[in-house]
Structure 1
Amino acid sequence: MGVFISQLFAFVIIVGVLVKFVGPPLKKATQKRQSEIQSQIDESEVAKKRLAEAKTAYADAMEQAKAEASKIRDEAREDAQSIIEDIRAQADAEVARIKEHGKAQVALNRSALIRSLRAELGLSTVDLAGKLVRDHLDQPGAKSESIDRVIGELEEMAQGSATPSTISSHAEAIGTHTMRATSRESIRALQKAFNDTTASMDSAGLTELSDDLLGVVGALDQHPLLRKHLAEVNDDGGAKGDMIDSLFGGKIGEPAVRIVKVAVNHRWSTARDLSFALERLSRLALLKVAELQGNIDDVEDELFRIGRLLVAQPALTQEVSNPLAPTEGRVQLLDSLLAGKVSDTTRQLVAGAIRTLRGRPADSVVSELADLAAARRGEAVAHVIAATSLTDEQVGRVTQVLGRVYGRPVSTQVEVDPELLGGMRIIIGDEVIEADIATRLAKAAEQLPR
């Protein structure tokens, strides 16, 4: 019994302890948990409500999307139909344009084909005519007859003809056509001083004068600043004269010094014109030597032949004209080719020309010499290029008729070029008379419709 009472007492104590110390915290925890559960239940209700609202909004959005999609489909169908109609209209317009372009292209091709056929027919006709002409000209005497016909045409042209303005009647105009008026006036004045100075000089004096003037030209070309100063306009002519005395006095003859003083006291458009004027007088001095010796006709002919040789030999012309090669070597090369074949005067003229090329081709400079020689005699030079050699009678007729055409004596130089086929080509100064068969055939081909 006592044991039971003690155990009951202990149980009561334990229950009291549990009620006093364990019960309040447990009750508080239970109440907190109940509050959390209630809060979750409330949140769940809110979530359910939001879910319902979201479902409603989704359903509304779907309805709106379906309506918008339907509207877009309808608009797209309308746009597609409009685009199809536009494309059809553009296609119809493009088809019409292509048809019109095709018609125009066909017409153009037809026109081009007609022109091509005409051109081919014309060329074939010209080729056939050329063949017939060549066959005819291969017959004996045919080429000579073609030359006679050209001379006859010139004789008809000579009736009542006037002197062409392109042919100068003064020797001092040769080679000066490209100069300005100031330099041409100075050359005329210098020519007068030259004529006065050389009026009573003999061949030896003229040769020395030519060498002296050529030496002055060489010095001026080597010193461009000096040449520029001497060519400039200066009111103090005495100062230039003193400079000439100090530079060349005692080194060249008195006649050359006098001529150089006259030259530097005149006005020049460019400094190069001063060198050219003195070089020109050097050539005229040698031509006057030829006049005194009575062989200026031969000198003119030799110069013409040398010019034709250089034209026919481009490699030789290039070598002789090469400014990078030593001058004396170029002079000796040409001199070796001319030795024993031309006069001393011609050799001196050509050597002087080679020394003063200044970048010009040798063949053109030698041709200028030939023209100057002819002009010195009061003649114009006619370069006659013929398909065959001219007889003495034909040369005489050409010379006579050209003299009537140009109103002055003419010196005729003849060159043979078989490629002309027939007839002849005449070059006088800046004028070219193309009366050869080859040129006429070429012009006939050029004038065909294209």
Structure 2
Amino acid sequence: MGSATTQALAASNAALDAASGVDLGVAGELFAAARALADTPALSGALADWGASAPARAKVVSDVFATLQPVTRELLSTVGTQRWSRAADLVDAVEELAIRAAASADAKADVEGELFQFGRVVAGDPQLELALGSRLGEAGEKGRLVEALLGSRTSAATALIASAVVQRPRERRVRELLARAERIVASARGRKVARVTSAVPLSAAQIERIAKLLAAKYDSEISVNTVIDRSVVGGVRVQIADDVIDASVSTRLNDLRQRLAG
């Protein structure tokens, strides 16, 4: 991520934090705006053009998104008047704002956990992952499929986020899109997400202990998602973003075999 994008994203997120009246309707409009920007390179390029003045870019937002709610237009104007390293970064930022807005509108829901569980369902069903990830499918149909699958099983925020992100894959697998959304929600709530893989289910006390250890290591509240994988034999494997802490028996055995093979 370029330095310009880093600063622009921070300013955009700060604008969302300061905004009032942010609800799921606003989140839905932001998701729609992100899709419109992605589908119209001339528009996203115009808003990311450093040569255009901030007032000129703000007018583009006002003209193009005139039918949206005032709070949505104000947030888009903030995004559009920042300096972005690439037009694609601007589009991703609007989608991130949408995810954060949905999570804040449904603050009591376990959105991270629900996104994680849906990601596991998708990863375990090749036909579903193919249907959602295929380039041949119509984006709106994919969104409606996700909404139908989740129904009342998840919070409204989770259903909105999941159904929206699958409509803009950006050459990524569905499980990766859901994982990114999960990380954004956790970040918005001041947490990091840890994926803990073990051979057998962990007790609540074990999960709490792992969370405390990780919180001390990363100086952040930790949201723990657990995965059962018999191949790890024993111990646990922990992943937080790109960091992997592997204390599994299978890994230690593999290391031993490699040393013996010399």
Q: Which residue of 2 aligns with 1:305?
A: 117
Task: Kindly indicate whether the alpha-carbon contact (under 8 Å) linking 1:323 and 1:359 is maintained by their aligned counterparts in 2.
Answer: no
Matched, 1:247 2:59: no
Is the partner of 2:132 in helix, strand or coil?
helix
Distance change in 2, residues 1:399/1:247 (3 Å): same
Shift of 1:314: 3.5
Q: Which residue of 2 aligns with 1:233?
A: 50
Matched, 1:290 2:102: no
Is the partner of 1:448 in helix, strand or coil?
helix
| Amino acid in the other structure paired with 1:190 | S
Q: Which residue of 2 aligns with 1:333?
A: 145
| Amino acid in the other structure paired with 1:389 | P
Distance 1:236 1:341 in 2: 46
| Amino acid in the other structure paired with 2:209 | R
Distance 2:125 2:246 in 1: 23
Q: Which residue of 2 aligns with 1:323?
A: 135
Is the partner of 2:195 in helix, strand or coil?
strand
Task: Kindly indicate whether the alpha-carbon contact (under 8 Å) linking 1:194 and 1:259 is maintained by their aligned counterparts in 2.
Answer: yes
Distance 1:220 1:375 in 2: 24
Q: Which residue of 2 aligns with 1:19?
A: none
Shift of 1:236: 2.3
Task: Kindly indicate whether the alpha-carbon contact (under 8 Å) linking 1:318 and 1:361 is maintained by their aligned counterparts in 2.
Answer: no
Distance change in 2, residues 1:242/1:374 (3 Å): closer
Query: 1:195-214, aligned counterparts within 5 Å?
Result: 195-198=17-20, 201=21, 205-214=22-31
Shift of 1:253: 0.9
Shift of 1:362: 0.9
* TM-score using structure 2 length: 0.94
Counterpart pick for 2:9 among 176, 179, 187: 187
| Amino acid in the other structure paired with 1:258 | E
- Point out where structure 1 has 5 or more consecutive residues left out of the alignment: 1-178
Shift of 1:312: 2.5
Shift of 1:307: 1.6
| Amino acid in the other structure paired with 2:73 | V
- Point out where structure 2 has 5 or more consecutive residues left out of the alignment: none
Q: Which residue of 2 aligns with 1:410?
A: 222
Shift of 1:269: 0.9
Q: Which residue of 1 aligns with 2:184?
A: 372
Q: Which residue of 2 aligns with 1:279?
A: 95
Is the partner of 2:237 in helix, strand or coil?
strand
Is the partner of 1:228 in helix, strand or coil?
helix
The structure that has the greater radius of gyration is 1
| Amino acid in the other structure paired with 1:350 | A
Q: Which residue of 2 aligns with 1:77?
A: none
Is the partner of 2:239 in helix, strand or coil?
strand
Distance 1:403 1:242 in 2: 44
Distance change in 2, residues 1:314/1:223 (3 Å): same
Deviations along 1:398-419, one digit per CA (max 9) or x if unpaired, are 1112212222211111111111
Runs of 4+ residues deviating >3 angstroms = none
Pairwise CA RMSD of aligned residues?
Answer: 1.6
Distance 1:299 1:215 in 2: 20
Distance 1:439 1:389 in 2: 19
Distance 1:189 1:248 in 2: 20
Aligned length: 262
Distance 1:273 1:289 in 2: 24
Distance 1:431 1:301 in 2: 20
Distance 1:182 1:302 in 2: 33
Counterpart pick for 2:36 among 203, 219, 230: 219
Shift of 1:235: 4.7
Q: Which residue of 1 aligns with 2:174?
A: 362
| Amino acid in the other structure paired with 2:90 | L
Shift of 1:445: 1.9
Deviations along 1:221-268, one digit per CA (max 9) or x if unpaired, are 12112211211103522222222222111x111111111122121111
Shift of 1:332: 2.5
Distance 2:173 2:212 in 1: 32
Task: Kindly indicate whether the alpha-carbon contact (under 8 Å) linking 2:46 and 2:57 is maintained by their aligned counterparts in 1.
Answer: no
Structure with bigger RCO (C-alpha 8 Å, 6+ apart):
1
Task: Kindly indicate whether the alpha-carbon contact (under 8 Å) linking 2:96 and 2:184 is maintained by their aligned counterparts in 1.
Answer: no
Deviations along 1:177-208, one digit per CA (max 9) or x if unpaired, are xx11111111011112222223xx2xxx4212
Distance change in 2, residues 1:428/1:218 (3 Å): same
